[in-house]
Amino acid sequence: MSALNRIFESYAACDSGGMEVDMTVDVWPVISAVITLFVIMLIGVVGRMTGILDWKTTKKLSTILIKITQPMLIIYSMQIGYTDERLRIGLGIVGASAVVHIAATVLAALIFGKYPSKQSKVYQMGVIFANCAFIGFPLLEVLFPEEGLFYGAFYTFFFNVYIWTYGTFLLSRGTDKNYNPLKSLVNVGTISCAISFILFITKIALPIPILKGVEMVGHMTFPLAMLIIGSLICNSGLKKLFTGVDGYFYSAIKLLLIPILTLLICVIFKVDQGLTLLLVTMTAVPSAANNAIFAEIYNADATLSAKLVGLSTLLSVATIPLMLLLTTWILSLVNP
């Protein structure tokens, strides 16, 4: 049994009073975490409606998020004692993340490939790239208290490489934007991943004052991201956010179909229970806030992208706990 599975079972055992391993997860801490993020998002909505935030400010905050706070979060999350077992688990998560993202790419192309070009790119980006860091990381901290951020960092290794390579390729296709694969690979996201990984495998621990500074800046990522999402929701107007069938169709695919397919595949191939829980959690989160910023840069439909981010985030308040309940129930049936 892998370490990740033991961590999952020990969490469940603690939740059941230590009497026996119970294949359930107390969903209330997860709901509490989701509601907390939702409240911060609403503060962002109020900030946009009152004029404190505007689109220019939102883009600047997004730059701070992508180039400062998120890299610090990744570096901090990898400041954990090295073991060969943790390395094997981490590399396994990277491989699983690659499979998930590539499978989502195929599914997105099949479903939304025939839409008009600007809209098609936005829908495909929304399906492929989820908010796995800004919403997924806080959920992993609840589900795996000791090592949630560590697992999340490995999951986002592939995410960061893929969004800056395939994501930028997808958005630049058919435009006057020049696509440079090498330049796409060298960015703050991939560099921070490389630095954090090198520090991990070389067992270099940052001095406490530096580590604390990195931690404080890194943890700004979560509230900052939700403020940005709150601002993005207002891009097309709150009334328009809930109009149209396509947004709900997209949200059903992103928030329900993909995590359910992930769960089924994990069960069929007898994937480790803890890894299954991690993968379902990371695929159940809504569209990445970065998608709207990327859409703006590459002249795609940024308004539509912001709408998908906002609508899927609002609906995820209900669907994330639902998916975790379904996951633990299915796992309890296949692993009595």
Question: Domain-by-domain residue ranges, the chain?
Answer: 3-14+36-55+86-182+226-330
Q: How many residues in the chain?
A: 336
Q: Which residues pair with 287 in a beta bridge?
A: 130
Instruction: Tell me how far apart the alpha carbons of residues 258 and 65 are, in angstroms, rounded to a whole number.
Output: 27
What's residue 107's pLDDT?
Answer: 97
**For the chain, counts of helices (H) and of strands (E):** 19, 0
Contact 185, 161 (CB under 8 A): yes
> Tokens 């890894």 label which residue?
275
What's residue 3's pLDDT?
Answer: 45
3-state DSSP call for residue 169?
helix
What's residue 238's pLDDT?
Answer: 73
What's residue 247's pLDDT?
Answer: 93
What's residue 21's pLDDT?
Answer: 29
Q: Is the pTM of this model over 0.85?
A: yes
The per-residue pLDDT for range 130-178, each reduced to its tens digit, is 999 889 999 998 888 888 999 999 999 999 889 988 998 898 887 766 6
Comparing CA positions, the residue from 125, 95, 45 lying closest to residue 294 is 125
What's residue 259's pLDDT?
Answer: 97
Contact 222, 100 (CB under 8 A): no
What's residue 8's pLDDT?
Answer: 42
Residues of the chain under the 50 pLDDT cut = 1-23
The per-residue pLDDT for range 233-261, each reduced to its tens digit, is 887 677 778 888 999 999 999 999 999 99
Angle formed by the axes of helices 302-334 and 258-268, to 10°? 30
Contact 196, 74 (CB under 8 A): yes
Contact 287, 131 (CB under 8 A): yes
Contact 296, 122 (CB under 8 A): no
Residue 307 CB neighbours (<10 A): 28
What's residue 32's pLDDT?
Answer: 87
